[in-house]
Amino acid sequence: MYMDTTELLKKVRKIEIKALGLSQNIFAGQYHSAFKGRGMAFSEVREYQYGDDVRDIDWNVTGRFHRPYVKVFEEERELTVMLLIDVSGSLDFGTTGQLKRECATEIAATLAFSAIQNNDKIGIIFFSDHVEKYIAPKKGRKHILYLIREMLTFTPESRKTDVGTGLECLNKVMKRRCTAFVISDFYTRKDFSQELRIASKKHDVVAIQVYDPRAKEMPDVGLMKVVDAETGHEMYIDTHDIRLRRKHNAYWEEREQRLHETLFQSRVDSMAVATDDDYVKMLMTLFEKRSR
């Protein structure tokens, strides 16, 4: 995707201002409570106080000072966050003023800034029907801006989709538990349930589906030329035909049901965002749900 330097800098800055503002003001605290650290880590010892758990007594220190001391633990907060971003051709579609790819980029950027606000590392796997690029997790604003530039300018080799390849890569490159957001329209002809099951057992996986509202309900606009973004196949359809529109809607519902069943069976939290939805409210709902 070609973009001159001035235009690129403007887009990066615009996304940074919006995403950073959201992560600082709206998601403050919610991201922290929704995505837990790796557990509890030893912090220090202090003298035993009434009500302390006797199981936390440090017997070595207690024996040395001849009075009881307990170990103090704190949450090992640092996370590694991976963004698995679909860069296939079907994301280059939009009928409501924004492409699915643009919506996905804003969501990914917001999550990225939320992560660095909590001092978490963040990395990216771009995937189509194969892994297009892997960027190792790091911390810091400079790294985040690099990731956003890549989201805006990356040109994939393939226009097809296989979500399973992204998940398989995640399982290979991430040896320790991480939080992984899979951001895709999930227009894939290949079953990815096995890769998802393996990933969800090892990592905290969250699926974010981005879709165009016209994919859910076909409008009555007469004769229309449609192109398969992944195969390039072209054809004309008569959207005035109510049977065609019903068939299209039924196909959408069936596909969504299969996707929901796949995610549910792997116990993966998810949300579906239309390009004309307020994704901020939907992310907040997701965070609140996970915090309960």
Domain residue extents for the chain: 5-32+79-291, 39-76
Asked whether 125 and 200 are in contact (CB, 8 A), the reply is no
Cα 261 to the center of its chain, rounded Å:
19
CA dist 121 and 114 (Å) reads 11
Left, alpha or beta for 235 (phi > 0: left; psi -120 to 50: alpha)? Answer: beta
Question: What number of H helices and E strands is found in the chain?
Answer: 10, 10
pLDDT of residue 2: 47
Verdict on whether the full-model pTM lies above 0.85: no
Report the amino acid identity of residue 1. Answer: M
Say what the alpha-carbon torsion angle 237, 249, 185, 102 is, to the nearest 10 degrees. Answer: 70
Asked whether 87 and 156 are in contact (CB, 8 A), the reply is yes
**Contact partners, residue 216, CB within 8 Å, separation at least 6:** 249, 252, 274
CA dist 203 and 99 (Å) reads 29
At 269 the three-state DSSP class reads strand
Asked whether 131 and 166 are in contact (CB, 8 A), the reply is yes
Pairing state between β 204-211 and 179-184: parallel
pLDDT of residue 279: 87
Question: What CATH code is assigned to 5-32+79-291?
Answer: 3.40.50.410
At 284 the three-state DSSP class reads helix
Helix 163-173, helix 193-202: angle, nearest 10: 30
Tokens 């229309």 belong to residue: 224
CA dist 172 and 229 (Å) reads 29
Encode the chain (292 residues) as per-residue pLDDT tens digits: 545 667 766 777 777 777 666 666 555 556 555 565 544 545 578 888 887 888 888 899 899 889 998 887 655 456 899 999 999 998 887 666 688 998 999 899 888 888 887 788 999 999 999 999 999 999 988 998 899 889 888 999 999 999 999 999 999 999 888 999 999 999 888 999 999 999 999 999 999 999 988 877 777 667 766 666 667 677 777 677 788 888 878 888 999 999 999 999 999 999 999 998 888 888 888 888 877 6
At 205 the three-state DSSP class reads strand
Structure tokens at 278: 């307020």
Residue 83: its H or E element: strand 80-86
Tokens 């990815």 belong to residue: 192
DSSP for residue 57: B
CB atoms within 10 A of CB 249: 13
Left, alpha or beta for 153 (phi > 0: left; psi -120 to 50: alpha)? Answer: alpha
Tokens 């596909």 belong to residue: 255
